[in-house]
Amino acid sequence: MKTKKMVVVGVTGSIAVHRAVDLTSLLTKADLDVHVVLTADAQKFVTPLPFKTLSRNSVVTDLYDEEEGWQPTHIRLADEADLLLVAPATANTIARISLGLADDPLTCIALALNPNASLVIAPAMNGKMWHHPATQGHVATLAARGAQIIGPQEGMLACGYEGAGRLWPVDSIAQQVVDHLRNSPTR
């Protein structure tokens, strides 16, 4: 029987990826079993090492990364997760999860996620991308399926524009995850 709630943190290729390192630390300090999945685009911004060190677990970077045992890692994580948190979530990843595309470890986990687990999305992108009808449609689809959407926040964006698109503060994301898991039954 599990003693800790398991959170899979999916980190995508946004400039806000560096804030996911702090988010991983906060979730681990909250006594959660944190497993990080880095997309190929996320790895353009950061390496797996800080996530491995802070989560105290190996980091999944490829669909064919395999640990010990016979079960594919992405299926094991999808089965055992209490919550999948995608932070930062790019427009591309939001669209792929919404459409059920599964071509990397993160989207495979999202598609195979056990039905008792929660999906939490924390978007981070250019404001025009956030407000685009396609992105809003994908977000609405995910929300209708029960996903919790956290943010984005208004402010100065890395691209030089000001508006919606900033990743929600990581301490607030972590607190919402902890509160959500505290109020959900242990499996």
Domains and CATH numbers, the chain: 6-182 (3.40.50.1950)
Q: What is the mean pLDDT of residues 114-132?
A: 94
Kindly give, in sequence order, each residue whose CB lies less than 8 Å from that of residue 148, ignoring residues fewer than 6 positions away.
118, 119, 120, 121, 176, 180
pLDDT digits (tens, 9 = 90+) for 155-182: 766 666 676 777 899 999 999 999 999 8
Catalytic residues: 159
Residue 156: the pLDDT is 64
pLDDT at 84 over 90: yes
The DSSP annotation for 40-51 comes to TTGGGT--SHHH
Residue 121: the pLDDT is 98
pLDDT at 69 over 90: no
Taking all residues of the chain, what is their mean pLDDT, rounded to a whole number? 91
Q: What is the mean pLDDT of residues 72-79?
A: 92
Decide if 151 contacts 121 (C-beta within 8 A): no
Task: Quote the tokens at residue 164.
Answer: 């919606």
pLDDT at 187 over 60: no
